[in-house]
Structures are given as C-alpha cells and as structure tokens.
Amino acid sequence: MVLNKLTIAQASEGLRNKTFSSVELTKACLSEIKKTDDKIKSFITITENYALLQAEKADQKIKNGDEKNNLLLGIPCSIKDVILTKNILTTAASNILKNYIPPYDATLILKLKKQGMVMLGKVNCDAFAHGASTENSDFFTTHNPWDLERVPGGSSGGSASSVASNQCLYSIGTDTGGSIRQPAAFCGVVGLKPTYGRISRSGLISMTSSTDCPSIMAKNVSDTALILKELAGKDKLDATSSGQKVDDYSEFLKNENIKGLKIGVPKEYFIKELNSDIKNAVQNAIKKLEKLGAEIIEISLPHTKYAVPTYYIITPSEVSSNLARFDGIKYGYSEVCKVESYKVHKVDEVKSLEEVYLESRANGFGSEAKRRIILGTYALSSGYYDAYYLQAQKVRTLIKKDFDDAFQKVDVIITPTSPNVAFKIGEHNDNPLELYLEDIFLSAASLAGVPAISIPCGFAKPKDGKIEMPIGMQIIGKHFDEKTILKIAKAYERNINNINLCIQKK
C-alpha cells in the first residue's frame, strides 16, 4: 500500500483501523515531496516539523477515540500561498510579500485546524493569483507532473500539481476566473469552485473581491464533497459569506439515481477552436450520463462571447484597488528598508515615504501585477469609468441572466473545462492575451457567481507533444446547489470506474 496515493476516504479508514498512523501517512507525503519537488516545484514553503507535530496530535486523538466522525483528522494537505496561515510564511508568490508572516489564520484554516488537518506547506501560484499557468510566480514556475515541459495551469498550479503527483491527499486553493477548474483539468484531478459566498473569504489575499472563491482540489468527487461540508457556512468576519443551508454532500452522493435530471449543453461552448479530442471526450461523457437516465437539452448562453472581455475589465479594476495596500511600509517587503515584513519599517532619513512607496512597488510587483494595475486604474479613471467599468458591470448582469434563464429549463450545464490540454511552458510568454483566452469556458460562471466543478473525462495527445494529457469536463450548477453538480460528477465517475482515473494511469 502506497500511503500517499490514497484518497481521503481510504486514508481515514486506514487511520481508524490502526492500519497505519497519521505520522506514517505524513512521512509518506513528505518523502514524495523530497523525491519529486525539485522537478515539479509545487511548494514555496514546506512545513515538515509543523506537519509532523499536527500528525502526532491527530494520532493521539484517534488513539483516545475522539472525533470518530471527523474524516479529515490526520489527513495531509497543501494550501495555496494566497491564504493566510498564522506564523507561517505567506507570500502570494510575490516579491513584495516574500517575508510576510501573517498574525492570524484565514477562517478556512481555522476550520481545517478544528478538523485536525495536517498542513504539509504552502504551494506556488501566479503572483497574487494573476494568471492561468503559474508562470507568473515571482519565485519559480511549477511544472505539470504529466509532462514537465508543460504548465500545470493557474493560478492554483501548485495545488493541482501537488495533488496530481500524490505529494498530498488534497489541496485548498482559490478560483477567481477559473483558477481551480483549469489547473484541475490540466493535471487530471477534481477541482470545485463553490457558489460565491459559500466558503468564507476572510483571510484571503484578495485579487478580484467580487469573484474570489476559496476552492477545493482532490483526487475524486467524494473527497471534494467531504471537504466542502467542513468549509462551507456563514462567517461573521466576511459580510459576503452566505447563511444558506449547508447540505450533507457526502450523504447526498449515496443516492446513485440521476434519472430525470436535466443537463443543458450550450452551443456557445463547442466552438471551432475547441480541440477535437476534448470535444469528443466531453460529448461521449454526456452520452454516458444520458444512458444513466439524464435528459440532455441543447441550450444557449448568448452573452458567453463577452465573458472574457468583461472579466478582464472588472478584474484589473478590482486588482488595482486591492493592490494599493501593498506599499512596502505598513507590511510587505521593501527593497529600500531591507527589513522583514513583520517588523516595523524604519524609513531611510534620506528617502521620503513617497519614494519608499514607489520603489517598493516597482521592485516588489512582477510584470503581470503591474499590467493589471495599469489596466484597472485606466478603466476606473475619470472619463473612462462609464465607458469601460460600468459597461462591463452591465454585461455581467446579462451573463448572470443567461444562467438564470437556462436554469429555469435544466438542473446543470455541462461544457469542456478548457479548449486545449496543458500547453508548453513559455508558449504564451510573448502574448498575454492568448493566456487570458484560456479562461474562455470558465470566466462566465465566475462572473455569475454559480458553482462549477471540473472532473477528468479522458486524455488527448497535444499537437506538439507525444505524452497524452488529461481532459477536464465542467459541470455548472444553480446558486448554492453544489449537491447536484457533485451528484452528476459522481454518477459519471462511478459508472466509468473513473475514481482516480488520471492518478491510476500515471
């Protein structure tokens, strides 16, 4: 038995049966990290001693018979480095925060600690989550475990690569415009973006506040459902978090019947630019679901073509506002002051605060962050606000209405996750617009705030490569109806024996 290749359910059963301990499970994951991470580069910070201490505490609780129904107790995970962890380095993969030690935990970290998580470390991402490839990290590029010459997707590339390579059993990342779903598809794992507000955003380093969602990556659908139940819920520290009822998703998945459920297939998502292998794989998956009793209905989401331009007006606008707080003086890293972020900055007598601010931002932000600050500031500036930002918000309302209208007819919507499989590192370096278009099937659901999940549904050989790469299928649901998209995903996974499809093949 290779412990680090287990699912959460399998590992939890083994821990309670005393087949192995959490310390042994954690050491297996740490061993895999040491063996593979010099090539994959998932982790920015590895918290080995902290993880082993958490594992020892979990073993003691299991020995005492405590928390028998807590299936996350003693399970090793990774955390995206835009989520605050008290007294543990949190960088957002940016030079301006490269020495930042948060004084408090994000709400979701507090919830996981209560469940007895074992945190192996903080994983890489595009700096401040700006990107779709993890090439925009200020530190290093993460590699796809399937083909090290290819990207793992982004911005949660470190989360995807750490799960796909069995360095951990699950990972918590964020999805703003596809940042969980696209890397999940590229790396062949399950990635769930819940409804906006379903999981508290308190303790996230904000990118686009109106679409940021703490999200989940795991090896199968059942593990994803288990994690969601523990993280969902109202939080007094986050006014945007919802008090909507949290379902027992794992219990709901026990009912295998999907007969009568209506699946919408939008024609706008099956465009001529879509890779033919991906198109065939998703259409075959839809046919399998139809054989299981689901009703397939062709629908239209007419404003889909405006989703990417709308997203890339709203996002830079919110980014420019959110990044204004990083001045290298109150917190963060200042190349001028040369001090650690959690100490009080003492400004050179020769330099003014304005000079410190400008030099810190010039040296601390990467090119993508600067690009988004400039675009966003322009879109919000006097004379352009009505023409760009306000217009984009109006189109966003129309995109949301498309989904509302569609969900009057269907229970879920199925699309490809991405138009292509993982591309080669450096392929889009000279054309940022090409990279933005990787979100073509993802950003609409984010703008509408609806839940969506990506699950593996096959493999395709890239035109420029010999290694078959994973394909993802996206299932989109109604607001706060995560249970139905999980049910459809589980039905597909179960009936094609797709549990750990990509992990097993690898």
| DSSP code of residue 296 | E
Measured over the CA atoms of residue 358, residue 364, residue 367 and residue 372, the dihedral's sign is negative
Q: Please give the Cα distance from 283 to 4 (Å, whole number).
A: 33
Backbone φ and ψ for 297, nearest 5 degrees, come out as: -130, 125
Q: Which amino acid is at 63?
A: K
Reply yes or no on whether 367 is catalytic. no
Q: Which amino acid is at 407?
A: F
CB-based contact 100:136 (threshold 8 Å): no
Reply yes or no on whether 287 is catalytic. no
Could you tell me where the beta strands, DSSP code E, fall in 109-196?
Answer: 118-123, 170-175, 190-193
Give the closest residue to 6 by CA, choosing from 226, 183, 216, 170.
Answer: 170
In 253-390, where does DSSP find H-type helix? 276-291, 307-322, 353-364, 367-380
CB-based contact 91:342 (threshold 8 Å): no
Give the closest residue to 125 by CA, choosing from 162, 88, 99.
Answer: 162
Reply yes or no on whether 381 is catalytic. no
Give the closest residue to 457 by CA, choosing from 270, 185, 153, 192.
Answer: 185
CB-based contact 316:376 (threshold 8 Å): yes
Catalytic residue among 12, 162, 179, 215: 179
Residues in the chain, overall count: 506
Q: Which amino acid is at 445?
A: A
Catalytic residue among 12, 21, 41, 80: 80
Please report the DSSP string for 82-112 in residue order: TB--TTS---TT-GGGTT---SS--HHHHHH
Catalytic residue among 22, 78, 137, 155: 155
Tokens of 454: 């990506």
Where in the sequence numbering do the catalytic residues fall? Answer: 80, 155, 179
